[in-house]
Amino acid sequence: MIIEDSIYTKEQIIAALEETSLALIKWVSEQENSKFSISIDNKWSTGQQLSHLTKSIKPLIMILRKPKFVMRLLFGTSNRETRSYLAVVEKYNSKLAQGGVSTSPFNPKTVAPEDKKKLLNEYTSSSEKLEKLINKYSEKDLDKYILPHPLLGKLTLREMMFFTIYHTQHHSNSLKELYRKADH
């Protein structure tokens, strides 16, 4: 798991993407189906958070499947040093503290308990595709190409992967906290 203030290699990023997604999948799989669609404290249910994470990954998959020149034409290239993992996390948490929220395309719809298997499969498949696609980019590419993030602005591919890792952890921790509150 990434916890230091550093720039990580592609292999470390792929390992962290896999670790965080597998931990979430395992945790969600172990929860009772009846709790999958229950909202606690007006927060998204487990199913909605899983749907949100999948919706967040799908645009990355779409653009990473395209030839690199398409990404360059659409979004340009970076003209600055890549931020560290912790710098990306700090910027994201700062935006959240300022009232930043998910934008419409990434907001989940209501889910039912019977959607659990389908949503888990979609998230698993999307996570695996992302890990494979990022592998086709070189270390240099990770710092060269940029993508827009609705809350954080332009991020290098490496920074976007840092965000994706943290975003998964953020929602995993949120779910665990909500379940602790509900059980007390």
Q: What is the DSSP string of 103-114?
A: -GGG------GG
Q: Which two tokens stand for residue 108?
A: 């989940």
Tell me if 34 is assigned to some domain: no
Helix/strand/coil for 77: strand
Angle between helices 46-65 and 10-30 (to 10 degrees): 150
- What would the 3-class secondary structure string for 141-179 be? HHHHEEEEECCCEEEEHHHHHHHHHHHHHHHHHHHHHHH
Tell me if 6 is assigned to some domain: no
Mean pLDDT confidence for 154-183: 89
Tell me if 8 is assigned to some domain: no
Tell me if 163 is assigned to some domain: yes
Tell me if 11 is assigned to some domain: no
pLDDT given at position 5 = 61
Helix/strand/coil for 102: coil
pLDDT given at position 182 = 65
Which CA distances in Å does 135 have to 22, 44, 128?
18, 32, 11
Identify the CA nearest to 155 among candidates 59, 83, 64, 68. Answer: 83
Confidence of residue 6 (pLDDT cuts 50, 70, 90): low
Stated pTM of the model: 0.92
**Number of structural domains found in the chain:** 1
Who's near 123: CB < 8 A, 6+ residues apart? Answer: 21, 24, 25, 50, 53, 54, 57
Tell me if 4 is assigned to some domain: no
Mean pLDDT confidence for 135-159: 96
Helix/strand/coil for 28: helix
pLDDT given at position 107 = 81
* Domain of 54, in residue numbers: 43-179
Tell me if 5 is assigned to some domain: no
Tell me if 37 is assigned to some domain: no
Which stretch of 2-11, 59-68, 135-144 has the lowest confidence by average pLDDT?
2-11
Identify the CA nearest to 86 among candidates 14, 7, 164. Answer: 7
Average pLDDT of every residue of the chain: 91
